[in-house]
Amino acid sequence: MAAESTPNLHSLLFVLNPISGDIDKQSIESTITDFCSQRGRHAGFFHTSGENDLDKLKAHLAANAYDAVFAAGGDGTVNLVGEALLGGKIPLGILPLGSGNGLSKDLSIPQDINGALEVIWQHQLRALDTLHVGGNFSVHLADLGFNALVVERFCNGDTRGPGAYIRIALQEYLSYEPATYRIETDREQFEGPAFMLTIANASTFGSNVVINPDSYLDDGEFELCLIEPFPATASLGILYHLYTDAFDTSVYTRRLRCRHASIQVPGQARVLVQVDGEPLELDTPVEVKINPRSLQVLTPASE
């Protein structure tokens, strides 16, 4: 986990998603402005709209000079800012304001706004691996199967928060039919049914489920984490394993470590995939490739 110190950060851009989480964004903007101005830093703001955000953000960054860009939102906002900064020298910072905030938890970034802002002054710089999943940028987790379906239902619903996610998951579980996957990696092959298949650059979902224990965000590899079909009587045991960092101890789980993977679902030309919290319909086979140490990220000095 190589890390290095960075010079002082003076000019900062905060990319705000107005609908992430359940927080008053005007209040957050005032908090950020006051926090930075009291310490001699300049805070600028870019508000996402859901329309051509990536192109607009890239154009804004090309026309302005910043020492760091903070994603102030959930994992989708982190994905947007990370893609805009991919391969460059400007580091990504994270203010976790979404419902899950998975990557920030993996990086030990404080989950309160003031604690996260302190990273501006006390930080390390890490170069993280990123992924392309079916041509789509990912810095955290993507998956096919049950969780992808729940995420799609959640994103299309009117209610946010963990309670809504759990309610949808329970509803879908009762009628869910696992798909069969045909996987070829640079190291091995797999074919068989799976309840869900996670493409993991990191380890932990925003719900604190540990899907990929002992993972590293900068090792040049990623993992395919499969939960195979299981009887209803085993569901509580599997949940216990996922919440106690014991994924590998279940007889219904397996992990494939690789640098490249091709994922097919026989009989399906397109498949539902969630990428960093966004549900997408992708052509099969879904090609997954890693981009080693391609994104500079600010992490706490003690991380």
Asked whether residue 151 carries a pLDDT value surpassing 60, the answer given is yes
- Do the domain assignments include residue 196? yes
Co-location of 153 and 261 in the same domain: yes
Co-location of 158 and 260 in the same domain: yes
Q: Which amino acid is at 15?
A: V
Co-location of 50 and 66 in the same domain: yes
Across the range 2-28, mean pLDDT stands at 71
Which burial class, exposed, middle or buried, applies to 129 when counting CB atoms under 10 A from its CB (0-12, 13-18, 19+)?
Answer: buried
CATH number where 96 lies: 3.40.50.10330
Q: Rounded to an integer, what distance in angstroms lies between the CA atom of residue 6 and that of residue 210?
A: 30
Co-location of 245 and 181 in the same domain: yes
Q: How many domains does the chain have?
A: 2
Per residue in 109-128, pLDDT (tens digit) is 999 999 999 999 889 999 99
Nearest CA among 101, 120, 147 for reference residue 273:
147
- Do the domain assignments include residue 58? yes
* Cβ partners under 8 Å of residue 151, min gap 6: 274, 277, 278, 279
pTM of the model: 0.89
- Do the domain assignments include residue 1? no
pLDDT for the residue 160: 66
Q: Rounded to an integer, what distance in angstroms lies between the CA atom of residue 249 and that of residue 252?
A: 9
Co-location of 22 and 164 in the same domain: no
Asked whether residue 153 carries a pLDDT value surpassing 60, the answer given is yes
Co-location of 99 and 165 in the same domain: no
Co-location of 33 and 78 in the same domain: yes
Structural domain that includes position 162: 136-293
Co-location of 102 and 251 in the same domain: no
Distances (CA, A) of 58 to 52, 62, 65, 75, 82: 10, 6, 12, 18, 11
CB 193 within 8 A of CB 262: no
Confidence band for 5, pLDDT divided at 50, 70 and 90: very low
Co-location of 118 and 168 in the same domain: no
Ranking 4-8, 33-37, 274-278 by mean pLDDT, the lowest is 4-8
CB 79 within 8 A of CB 140: yes
